[in-house]
Structure 1
């Protein structure tokens, strides 16, 4: 690849450059950064649908807040994607160290940092569910297909964050110990995995509620 990995970011690169970097066997960017990009796509579609939606004056302020939050989330998600790519670099570097206490400590710290990075992404994705749900019920009906696509991207973000946090927590057992010990030592991160699992069910329920309108040919 011509570009150095450090020079390829979601905030400065073209889609072509960034996906080319993702396709390389470097691990940075990786699945965690991809999770951030999926969240940015969900936020962008949310913003678009909100911009095309008209409502009565009683809900105008609520709609404006959704629009503003989605706009802000798009920018935050791309930044978090780049932060996750940096965490992935540290994670990979730790595993390349020679076996021994130093390597074990580095893997432990990198795993915790990576889990925290993914957890932040997951929390932001969970926060976005309610706004997209509002648009599913009150948004411009002509854009219901875009809402379903946004739910798909949001689900990918939630699923990616859940898997990454879970995987990183499990990596803490590499130096010995059991998952139950990890759960006791990192209760907040463990609870994040559980909340993300519940969020997947919530997204699936909301999507099912409007899918018949987005894909009417399925009902023929």
Structure 2
């Protein structure tokens, strides 16, 4: 098998990629896993849309949902592999000897990693409306698949939110206070807040369809 750092979502089987994820290397790590979870959500959205029969303008909506989902799957896997590369730079920065060079490397790697996670989170938030549409108008026999997609999407959004927040907090290792970080990177700070709100919306949408997806649950 290739060394873990050489394993990508494009070249590896699920078995090989998850084995690399299981190693104590951090590349791939949780950020790459976040991208894969987003790819799972997008794949399920595409599947449900493909099974959904519709006519007229509704057909055009279904086709658009499926096209966006298929494109997102590709993007999510690319972002997962990009994150694996960013993780190596992040780890390398912290292994440097203490001093100005290390502080600068940590700052650069932390901001790069935060921006990568923010981009992934932005793509994840884009699919919420499409999953909501499928929950309301998609093939009813596949409502459980929509719920699984929401679960995968929630994991992606939560991962992106936490990674951006953690990477920003890591700037304190380079001598910054949280207030200074907020002033230097307001866009990333806002991304954390937006992702937090997105989690609430996903939870609300999932709760709305749970009665149809799991009617034998407790009452």
What is the TM-score when the length of structure 2 is the normalising length? 0.98
Aligned to 2:179: 180
- In structure 2, the partner of 1:207 is 206
Moved more, 22-31 or 171-180: 171-180
Aligned CA-pair RMSD: 0.9
Structure 1 match to 2:8: 9
Q: Which runs of 5+ in 2 are unaligned?
A: none
The residue that corresponds to 1:60 in the other structure is: 59
**CA–CA separation in structure 2 for the residues paired with 1:98 and 1:184:** 27
Residues 79-90 of structure 1 correspond to what in structure 2 (within 5 A)?
79-90=78-89
Q: Which residue of 1 aligns with 2:109?
A: 110
Is the 1:212–1:219 contact (alpha carbons within 8 Å) kept by the matching residues of 2?
no
For residues 130-169 of structure 1, give each alpha carbon's deviation from its aligned partner in whole angstroms, at most 9, with x where no partner exists: 0000000000000000000000000000000000000000
In 1, are the aligned partners of 2:4 and 2:23 still within 8 Å (CA)?
A: no
- For the residue of structure 2 that corresponds to 1:93, the secondary structure is helix
| Structure 2 CA distance for aligned equivalents of residues 162 and 13 of structure 1 | 27
Match of 2:135 in 1: 136
Aligned to 2:124: 125
**C-alpha displacement at 1:95, in angstroms?**
0.5
Q: CA deviation at 1:196?
A: 0.1
Q: Contact 2:38–2:153 (CA<8 Å) still a contact in 1?
A: yes
The answer to whether 1:155 aligns with 2:162 is: no
Query: By how many angstroms is 1:219 displaced?
Result: 4.0
Following TM superposition, where does structure 1 have runs of at least 4 consecutive aligned residues deviating by more than 4 angstroms? none
**Residue correspondences, number:** 219
3-state SS of paired residue (1:11): coil
Q: Which residue of 2 aligns with 1:23?
A: 22
SS of corresponding position for 2:172 = coil
Structure 1: 5+ residue stretches without partners: none
Query: CA contact under 8 A between 1:33 and 1:81: conserved in structure 2?
Result: yes
Name the structure 2 match of 1:39: 38
Q: Distance in 1 between matches of 2:124 and 2:26?
A: 23
TM-score by length of 1: 0.98
